[in-house]
Structure 1
Amino acid sequence: MHLGKTLEANTDFPKTSLQKSVFLSYGVYNFKPNKEWAARLNYPKTGIALGYTDFGNSDKIGQAISLYPFIEFAILRKATPNLNLQIGIGASYTNTQFDAIENPFNRAITTDLNWSFRSFLYYDIYKKQKTDYRLGLGYLHHSNGHTRLPNQGLNSLAFSLSAKFDSRYKPKPIHTAHSFSNKSQTYISWRVGIGQNVLSEEFNSKKEVYSIAISAGKIINNTFKFGGGFYYRFYEHYYDYIKNDGDLVDEQLPHFKDNPFGYATNFGLFATSELLLGHIGFEFDLGLNIYKPFYKIDWQLNQGYSFVSGNGETIVVLGELDWYYEIKRTVSSRMGLKYYLWSNTKAPKHNIFIGAHINANLGQADFTDLSIGYTYRFNYKEQTNKLL
């Protein structure tokens, strides 16, 4: 059970009482000898969690049902055996959304289905043979990945009291890590994706973002994947705004109309890191936008506001092109999950994956996409020393 506080997402956000959540989790230990990634990560637990959350205001914010795959690590094991970190990323259904007339001050959630993220520290306060009683402190997030605006996101801080039930007495790890040699492989990979986003609250219908990326790097011990590459994207919203003679194009950038396709594109370089857990990959990328010319208009539309003056005239104020704009224009990020057709534990030379990711300008959601890709591994480079 979680008790916590829903944080204010915007000015005049609806008042909330105590947030209440109930989560039911099912997890497994990973002590099997053939799970190299588990040995490399000191035998984390993995599983799936189903939760129900009441945000503390049933009329204006409502409730959510969430589903999270998770991984749980023991941390500071030398200092204490009782502290664990659990991280989950998944999806949620939220039953109450923003409405310009009926619910105008909840600008956090605008769609039924949303991305969800959960991070909790757990401390085991009392242990019996098959039951651990735990205190937890954590953070929860819900947002739609820029597929409809407004999308300020629901953020919560929570305290939990829970019990963990083991189906058997506490198992002891099978120390097989010594059988795994330290090794690395060079890889090359490509992916194509199709995503969706909206341009602004004025242009709030979903349109596609098409992308392609290539990368190369190293896979260390069949568990850690690091690399870098190049991405290219085409934004349908950008293209349509230019083709339809949008006001800001006419006023500021009329030359965009000479090549709407080119000015609706984005390309850059990225560094990628991925945790390989058998068939599953947890991926985080950090990128540098070399070319994204339309983002100037994107920013002005999204960071601006409008109001009605005393004489009834609507005044539009554009977002300021300040230092923060320069950072957001330059830095991209990407986070999500991948499923590989063949387990990475077996180090297959050829592998195919599908992925679901949220892409961002720095930390602000840009678009959500689905992708399919291919990875090719070259031969092992193996060291003579063993692990442990």
Structure 2
Amino acid sequence: MRHALFSIYFLTSFALMAQPRFGVNEVRLGGYGGNMLNIYPNMPSHDLQKGAYLDLSFHLRHTDYYAAYNEPTAGYSLSFHDLGNAEVLGHAVGLQRTFQLEQRFGSESPRFVLRENFGLGGIYTTKPYDRSSNPGNNVFGSSLSALVSAGMGLYVNLNNHSIGARFDYLHSSNGHTVLPNVGMNTPTWSLNYAYSFARRYVAERRKFPETEKLIKTWNVLAYGGFGLNQAGGTVRPTNTPTYQKHIIALGATYRYSLINRLSFTVEGYNNETYRLWNNVMQWDPKNPYLGSSALMLMAGHEFIYGRFGMLIQMGLNIYNPTLYRLIGEVEQPTTSNQLKSIIPGRFAVRYYVVSPDFNTSGLFVQAAIKSNMGQADFLEFGIGTLIGRKKAESE
């Protein structure tokens, strides 16, 4: 299998290098290794996790990001993973949408560059949890999971060639839609080689007064969504159907630079899983709807890249009676679990229908994983809007 995977990489790379008219600016091939973190008790034993990846990158010229960040690119990353335990964890294939920002050492020569990279997509595993045939895999409860990566690398450019070393953190989760769901958490190191179809571009240092007028402005945010998960614990599968959550949020955002935005929201949601727990445990709240609901304050940072945004939030549970009882009466009342009942979080990706480079008002759609102190709680989808000045004024 290993030889077959690398053969696919070689043939794909060769085909793309022979036909640059497809619009691919750069092809990068690399190999990685790292140890999956044992973040939960009773995880399956495993050796070194290793694999390979093929990155296809496209230039985003003539944008604000080019003037500010030299040579930013967007693209796709195809990856193959040996998870370190073929019998229990199996192998995996990942596909991500990727974004890279570049910082150069020296104003003119891009010989040495530092790149920050982000990726969001999915991963398919060959041996997920199965109650009868593979009960030891509590990392992957389903064949398909979300895959998120973030990293940084140092690269040396030699005309159309580039070699580099990169650090990445890989995380997978199905949002508790299928249990168990510990998820893959792996810090990795990789070496890679790239071929560019065009000479390195020296960005013109320009200013964009239209977009700059939108920076350092406040906007109102309104959002509604729904979530899905199974009832049970991270390593305690229950084979139940998925239950819905209904979410509303209202707050404000502040964009303080070209790619950075802060958000502050008050959010409430009603949780069908909580209602199930209240019935099964006979907790019988006086008001079933309020007893299965929650209220939280959330603060977060959004990384903006064109029409896309990546949002990380943390907050404080103001009201969540069922979760408090779950931690106190069902789970072990450890410090970690106590923090889960207090600190909610979210990782989300947004797509703006109207470009945020020239507008502060507009709709967005969002996909997210809601968490409790970093542990996945449920998968979430929603639609929201920003309300502000309608359009940047030209100078």
Q: TM-score, normalised by structure 1?
A: 0.82
Cα pair 1:20 1:56 within 8 Å, conserved: yes
Alignment CA distance shift 1:274-1:285 (3 Å):
same
State whether structure 2 residue 271 is matched by structure 1 residue 235. yes
Decide which moves more: 38-47 or 360-369: 38-47
Residue type of the partner of 2:137?
N
Query: 1: CA distance between counterparts of 2:88 and 2:339?
Result: 34
Following the alignment from structure 1 to structure 2, what is the Cα–Cα distance between the partners of residues 228 and 212?
A: 14
Aligned to 1:199: 231
Match of 1:68 in 2: 96
Residue 253 of structure 2 corresponds to: 217
How far has the Cα of 1:61 moved from its partner? Answer: 0.7
Aligned length: 355
| 1:145 maps onto 2:181 in alignment | no
Identity value in percent? 23
The one-letter code matched in structure 2 to 1:320 is: Q
2:137 matched to 1:113? no
- 1:135–1:160 contact (8 Å) kept in structure 2: yes
CA distance in 2, matches of 1:380, 1:374: 15
Alignment match, 2:46: 16
Deviation of 1:37 (Å): 4.2
Whether 2:86 is the aligned partner of 1:58: answer: yes
Q: CA distance change for structure 1 residues 241 and 283 in 2, over 3 Å: closer, same or farther?
A: same
Q: What is the SS of the residue equivalent to 1:177?
A: coil
Which of residues 66, 83, 88 in structure 1 aligns to 2:119? 88
Mapped to 2, the partners of 1:361 and 1:121 lie a distance apart of 27
Whether the 8 Å CA contact 2:44–2:138 is kept in 1: the answer is no
Counterpart of 2:383 in structure 1 is: 372
1:184–1:38 CA distance, 2 compared to 1 (3 A) = farther
In the alignment, structure 1 residue 265 sits paired with structure 2 residue 293? yes
Superposed displacement of residue 284, structure 1: 1.6
Q: Report the 3-state secondary structure (helix = DSSP H, G, I; strand = E; otherwise coil) of the residue aligned with 2:134.
A: coil
Alpha-carbon shift at residue 169 of structure 1 (Å): 0.8
Q: Which residue does 1:308 correspond to in 2?
A: none
Alignment check: 8 A CA contact 2:69 2:102 kept: no
CA distance in 1, matches of 2:275, 2:159: 62
1:350 Cα deviation (Å)? 3.4
CA distance in 2, matches of 1:38, 1:274: 19
**Displacement of 1:355 after TM fit?**
0.8
Helix, strand or coil: the match of 2:54?
A: strand
In structure 2, the residue corresponding to 1:346 is in which secondary structure?
coil
Alpha-carbon contact 1:10-1:107 (below 8 Å) kept = no
Per-residue deviation, residues 165-192 of structure 1 (Å, max 9, x unmatched): 2111111012113756464332112111
Q: Tell me, yes or no, if the aligned pair for 1:186 and 1:217 is still in contact at 8 Å.
A: yes
2:346 equivalent in structure 1: 334
Spell out the pairing of 1:344-355 with structure 2 (5 A cutoff): 344-347=356-359, 350-355=361-366
- Alignment-derived partner of residue 5 in structure 1: 35
Q: SS where residue 140 of structure 2 aligns?
A: coil
> Which amino acid in structure 2 is aligned with residue 296 of structure 1?
Y
Q: Secondary structure at the match of 1:261?
A: helix
* Pair 380,22 (structure 1): closer, same or farther in 2 beyond 3 Å: same
Flag structure 1 segments of 5+ consecutive residues without an equivalent.
302-317
- From the superposition, tell whether residues 197 and 12 of structure 1 become closer, same or farther in structure 2 (CA, over 3 Å): closer
Contact 2:71 2:201 in 1 (8 A): no
Higher relative contact order (CA 8 A, sep 6+): 1
Q: Compared with structure 1, are the counterparts of its residues 158 and 229 closer, same or farther at alpha carbon in structure 2 (3 Å cutoff)?
A: closer
Indicate if the aligned counterparts of 1:66 and 1:93 stay in contact, CA closer than 8 A. Answer: yes
RMSD across aligned positions (CA): 2.7
3-state SS, counterpart of residue 289 of structure 1:
strand
- 5+ residue gaps, structure 2: 1-30
CA distance in 2, matches of 1:11, 1:195: 27
Partners in 1 of 2:326 and 2:125 — Cα distance?
Answer: 27
Match of 1:45 in 2: 73
1:211 CA drift (Å): 0.4
Separation in structure 1 between the aligned mates of residue 258 and residue 390 of structure 2, nearest angstrom: 12
Deviation at 1:63, TM superposition (A): 1.6
Partner of 1:109, secondary structure, is coil
**1:307 is matched with which residue?**
none
Q: Which amino acid aligns with 1:239?
A: R
Deviations 1:80-129 (A, max 9, x none): 933323221221111211223322222111011111122333222x5321
Give the alignment of 1:26-41 within 5 angstroms. Answer: 26-32=56-62, 35-41=63-69
Query: 1:354, CA displacement in angstroms?
Result: 0.9
> Per residue, is there more strand in 1 or in 2?
1
- Read off the aligned partner of 1:186 and give its amino acid letter: W
Is residue 321 of structure 1 aligned with residue 349 of structure 2? no
The yes-or-no answer on 1:172 pairing with 2:183 is: no
Q: CA deviation at 1:38?
A: 4.4
Equivalent residues in 2 for 1:94-133, closer than 5 Å: 94-124=125-155, 126-133=156-163
TM-score, normalising length: structure 2: 0.81
Kindly tell me: are residues 23 and 352 of structure 1, through their superposed partners in 2, closer, same or farther at Cα, counting changes over 3 Å?
A: same
| Counterpart-to-counterpart distance in 2, 1:375 and 1:286 | 20
State whether residues 9 and 153 of structure 1, in contact with CA within 8 Å, keep that contact through their aligned partners in structure 2: no
Deviations 1:357-378 (Å, cap 9, x if unpaired)? 0111121111111101122213
Q: Indicate the residue corresponding to 1:310 in structure 2.
A: none
Matched residue of 1:6: which SS? coil
